Amino acid sequence: DERINIAIDGPAGAGKSTVARSVAEALGYIYIDTGAMYRAVTWSAREAGLDIENDEAVTAHARKLDIRLAPGPDGQVVLLGGEDVTSRIRSRDINLHVSRVAAIDGVRIRLVEMQRALASAKGVVMDGRDIGSHVLPDAELKVYLTASVQERARRRHLEAGDALGISLEQMEREIEERDRKDMGRAVSPLLQADDAVLLDSTGIPADEVVSRIREMALEKL
Ligand code: C5P
């Protein structure tokens, strides 16, 4: 079996999910968006009225959740107990709270276990923050995808700015704040793994980023 695992990590808005999805498609691999899992836990915890500062309560809640990622007509669909929460987990409220929930050790243990199980048969493109450094340390290809904060904010704003109802400047501040939390947390912070290839996509169109990663993947086969 020639299949490999590919880890794509990086800060918010670097285009990881767009790129990871296209790379997976090009190779006939399965795409797994781990950020969606942390978002689903955050959405559900807030929906249940939990205090997200309460690690024990959020961990116990996360353990009970049935989270599934399924292919849908416009990309990946996130199912929580069978309910489609795909668009609900992309709200500004979730953007503002997900990094707090993702800093809870018990939540990470539960989700990392799921992520490793999903990748065990290989042939997976997984995007997140700690995939190359912690979840799949043996991934054959690791990419750390980044871009300037201005460009990341601009892309996000083009994509969802109106829906989120915030200015470009506010988007930039909120992206920086989320990166600061994700890089600064005690457990599995966002960082470039020693053996990850750094790819700065500032000014590079997504299709070119995809073809570069695809080429790197083909070299590993
Ligand atoms: O990738 P996305 O922006 O959807 O991720 C949402 C949040 O989930 C991140 O800001 C981070 O707090 C958390 N996350 C994480 N580890 C991952 C993926 C996402 O902590 N592997």
1 pLDDT band, cuts 50/70/90, is low
Tens of pLDDT, residue by residue over 20-56, are 999 999 999 999 999 999 999 999 999 999 999 999 9
**The token pair that represents 77 in the structure block:** 């669909």
Q: Is the pLDDT of residue 161 over 70?
A: no
pLDDT for the residue 183: 98
Q: Is the pLDDT of residue 125 over 90?
A: yes
Q: Is the pLDDT of residue 164 over 70?
A: yes
Q: How far is the CA of 179 from the centre of ligand 1 (A)?
A: 9
Q: How far is the CA of 34 from the centre of ligand 1 (A)?
A: 7
- pTM of the model as a whole: 0.97
204 pLDDT band, cuts 50/70/90, is very high
Tens of pLDDT, residue by residue over 55-110, are 999 999 999 999 999 988 878 999 999 999 999 999 999 999 999 999 999 999 99
Question: In this structure, are residues 145 and 129 in contact, taking their beta carbons and an 8 Å threshold?
Answer: no
pLDDT for the residue 188: 98
Q: Which atom in ligand 1 lies closest to the alpha carbon of residue 34?
A: 18
* 62 ligand 1 Cβ < 6 A: no
165 pLDDT band, cuts 50/70/90, is confident
Nearest CA to ligand 1 atom 4: 35
pLDDT for the residue 180: 98
Gap between the Cα atoms of 185 and 180, Å rounded: 9
Task: Tell me the percentage of the chain whose pLDDT exceeds 90.
Answer: 92
Nearest CA to ligand 1 atom 19: 35
Tell me which of 8, 32, 34 to substitute to probe ligand 1's pocket, judged by most ligand atoms within 8 Å of the beta carbon: 34
Write down the residue that tokens 């969802």 correspond to. 160
Q: Is the pLDDT of residue 6 over 90?
A: yes
Nearest CA to ligand 1 atom 5: 35
Tens of pLDDT, residue by residue over 172-200, are 999 999 999 999 999 999 999 999 999 99
How far lies 203's CA from each of 15, 23, 88, 147, in Å? 12, 19, 30, 8
List the alpha helices (DSSP H) in 28-167.
34-47, 55-64, 92-102, 105-119, 149-164
Q: What ipTM did this prediction achieve?
A: 0.99
* 99 ligand 1 Cβ < 6 A: yes
Q: Is the pLDDT of residue 163 over 80?
A: no
Q: How far is the CA of 1 from the centre of ligand 1 (A)?
A: 31
Question: In this structure, are residues 188 and 134 in contact, taking their beta carbons and an 8 Å threshold?
Answer: yes
